[in-house]
Amino acid sequence: MHSYWLKRHGIVGAYVALPVAPENFASCVAALPLMGFAGANVTVPHKEAAFALCAALDDEARLTGAVNTLIFKADAITGLNTDVKGFAASLAAGLGPEAAGAGPVAVLGAGGAARAIVLALARAGAPEIRLLNRTKTRSQALAALLAPCAKIELVDWGDWDVAFARTRLLVNTTSLGMTGKPPLELSLDSLPREAAIADIVYNPLETPLLRAARARGHRTLDGLGMLMHQAAPAFAAWFGVMPEVTDDLRAELVKALPNV
């Protein structure tokens, strides 16, 4: 995706994947500016660790306590959370600007991505956000962090009847269902048919959750939109050019994905 934009805008550069173990994360980040990197994206499980390394933060990073974009300048690191605006833009484009405010929203997960998505949903008018996570302490921490911004109700993982009552949007923010990860096991039987379902996983593009949702007649949103929309402001921060999210870009990404 970034390579596509670099070529499109005639910028000399490269975007490379660097797998890093959690215990090596801080030392790896410290080395990147020395090797000429302008910045980096950060994914699971490093978003909260990245937050701790930053000397300056944007509002979204400060509110969520999670960083997905690092900018290297002089001796300081600036952290952004572009997932907030990325999810909001994807949701509005894929399901309509009223999707978040139509009724209660059920959110699965309580990691760094969930923090961004809960904030995006609250800003988009979600009247109630029901948060479910297998580890209750993490959902409690997220609810406490974002209590000033969102109305959050904690629901036990597996209590689908309570979570899905009158729900108008279900969002999976976990990696469950991703290629190489365990499946997301839940029943949609109690979810109202008019509810929409979003999954931030993009490999596979149609996860088992989205496949089951489509079979029941739900409107669905895959994770590729969020991936594209969160990447655009990161690219702009590094290279000074705001790229466009287009159908052509999506088509290129879909061709590059395995198992599609």
Catalytic residues: 47
Q: Do 127 and 94 touch, CB atoms closer than 8 A?
A: no
Q: Do 66 and 115 touch, CB atoms closer than 8 A?
A: yes
b/e per residue 117-149 (b: at least 16 CB within 10 A): bbbbbbebebeebbbbbeeeeebeebbebbeee
Q: Do 21 and 37 touch, CB atoms closer than 8 A?
A: no
Cα dihedral: 186, 187, 192, 194 (round 10): 70
Place of tokens 């000399």: 12
